[in-house]
A and B are shown apart, each in its own frame.
Chain A
Amino acid sequence: MAQIEEVNIDHFKHLVSERALTGETMLLNMGPQHPSTHGVLRLLLELDGETVLNCIPDIGYLHTGIEKNMEAKTYLKAEVMTDRLDYMNTMGNNLAYVLAVEKLVDLDVPPRAQAIRVILTELQRIASHLVFLGAFGLDLAAMSVFLYCFREREAVLDIAELCSGQRMMTTYFRPGGLWRDVPVEFEKAVRDFLKMFPKRVDEYESLLTKNPILLDRTVGIGKLDVATALQHGVTGPVLRASGMNWDLRKARPYSGYEQYDFNVPTRTEGDTFARYIVRIEEFRESMKIVEQALNKLPMGPINSDNRKFVPPPRSEIGVSMEALIHHFKLWTEGFPAPKASVYSAVESPRGELGVYLEGDGGPKPHRVHWRTPSFDNLSAIEKMVRGHLVADLVAILASIDIVLGDIDR
Chain B
Amino acid sequence: MDKKLEKIIQALQETFSVEIEEFRDETHVFIQAEQIVDALLLLRDKYDFELLSALTATDYWPQQSPRFHVIYQLSSLARNVTVQLRVPLNGDQPKIPTATRVYEVANWRERELLDMFGIESEGHPDPRRILMPEDHVGHPLRRDYPLGYEEPQFTFNLEEIDLQKPYAKE
Residues on A lying within 8 angstroms of B by beta carbon are: 1-5, 7, 11, 14-15, 59-60, 63, 65, 67-69, 71-72, 103-104, 106, 230-233, 235, 244, 246, 251-252, 340-343, 345, 352, 354, 356, 358, 366-367, 369, 371, 375-376, 379, 408-409
**Contact present for B147 and A72 (CB under 8 Å):** yes
* Cβ-based interface call for B84 (8 A): yes
Q: Which residues from chain B contact A72 at a C-beta distance below 8 Å?
A: 147
Asked whether A231 and B53 contact (CB < 8 A) given A340-B23, A341-B58, A343-B82, the answer is: no
B53 touches A232 (CB 8 A): no
B28 CB to nearest A CB, Å? 8
B135 with A230: CB separation less than 8 A: no
Q: Evaluate contact between B136 and A369: CB separation under 8 angstroms.
A: no
Nearest-CB distance from A179 to chain B (Å)? Answer: 25
Chain B: CB-nearest residue to A376 = B105
| Distance A235 CA – B26 CA, assembled complex (angstroms) | 21
For B, the interface residue count at a CB cutoff of 8 angstroms equals: 46
> How many angstroms from the CA of A395 to the CA of B167 in the assembled complex?
34
> Between A and B, how many residue pairs show CB distances below 8 Å?
106
> Which of A60, A68, A342 is the one whose CB lies under 8 Å from B130?
A60
- B97 interface residue, CB < 8 Å from A? no
Contact (A235, B51) CB under 8 Å given A1-B164, A60-B132: yes
**Interface members, chain B 72-127 (any A CB < 8 Å):** 73, 75, 77, 80, 82, 84, 103-105, 107-108, 116, 125-126
Q: 9 closest A-B pairs (Cβ-Cβ)? A: A233-B105, A60-B131, A371-B54, A367-B58, A369-B56, A230-B50, A231-B104, A63-B131, A340-B23
Residues of B within 8 A of A11 (CB): 128, 134
- What residues of B have a CB within 8 angstroms of the CB of A230 in the complex? 50-51, 77
Contact B51 A371 (CB under 8 A): no
Cβ–Cβ < 8 Å partners of B80 in chain A: 251-252
- B residues within 8 A CB of A352? 53, 75
Chain B nearest Cβ from A405, distance in angstroms: 13
From residue A347, how far is it (CB to closest CB) to chain B in Å? 13
Q: Dominant SS at the B interface?
A: loop
B137 at interface, CB cutoff 8 A: yes
CA distance A343 to B82 in the complex (A): 10
Separation of A235 and B77 alpha carbons in the complex (Å): 11
Is A69's CB under 8 angstroms from B166's CB? no
B133 within 8 A of A: yes
Please, what's the 1-or-0 string for B120-164, where 1 marks a CB less than 8 Å from any CB in chain A? 000001101111111111001100010100000000000000001
> B170 to nearest A CB, angstroms?
11
Q: Do residues A63 and B51 form an inter-chain contact, with CB atoms below 8 A?
A: no
Q: Which of B82, B140, B166, B167 contacts A68 (CB 8 A)?
A: B140
Report chain A residues within 8 Å CB of B132: 60, 63
Q: How far is the CA of A372 from the CA of B133 in the complex (A)?
A: 20
Q: Is the CB of A379 within 8 A of B107?
A: yes
Q: How far is the CA of A72 from the CA of B141 in the complex (A)?
A: 12
Which residue on chain A has the smallest CB distance to residue B80?
A: A251
Q: Are B134 and A5 in contact (CB under 8 A)?
A: yes
Query: Are A244 and B73 in touch, CB under 8 angstroms?
Result: no
How far does the Cβ of B86 sit from chain A's closest Cβ, in whole Å?
Answer: 9
Distance in angstroms from A107 CB to nearest chain B CB is: 11
- Do the beta carbons of A232 and B104 come within 8 Å of each other? yes
A-chain residues with CB within 8 Å of residue B105 when the two chains form the complex: 231-233, 376, 379
Instruction: Provide 24 A-B residue pairs closer than 8 Å at the C-beta atoms, listed in order of the A residue.
Output: A4-B135, A5-B134, A5-B135, A14-B126, A60-B129, A60-B132, A63-B131, A68-B145, A71-B147, A233-B52, A246-B77, A251-B80, A341-B28, A342-B23, A342-B24, A343-B53, A343-B54, A343-B73, A354-B53, A354-B73, A369-B56, A376-B105, A376-B108, A409-B131
Contacts of A1 in B (CB 8 A): 164, 166
Q: Which residues on B sit within 8 Å (CB–CB) of A354? A: 53-54, 73
B145 nearest CB across to chain A (Å): 8
Q: CA of A231 to CA of B141 in the docked complex: distance in angstroms? A: 26
Tell me, rounded to whole Å, the shortest Cβ–Cβ distance linking A46 to chain B.
15
A73 to chain B, nearest CB (A): 10
| Extra 13 A-B pairs, beta carbons < 8 Å, given A60-B133, A232-B104, A343-B73 | A1-B166, A2-B135, A15-B126, A60-B131, A68-B141, A68-B147, A231-B104, A251-B80, A342-B26, A343-B84, A356-B54, A366-B58, A379-B104
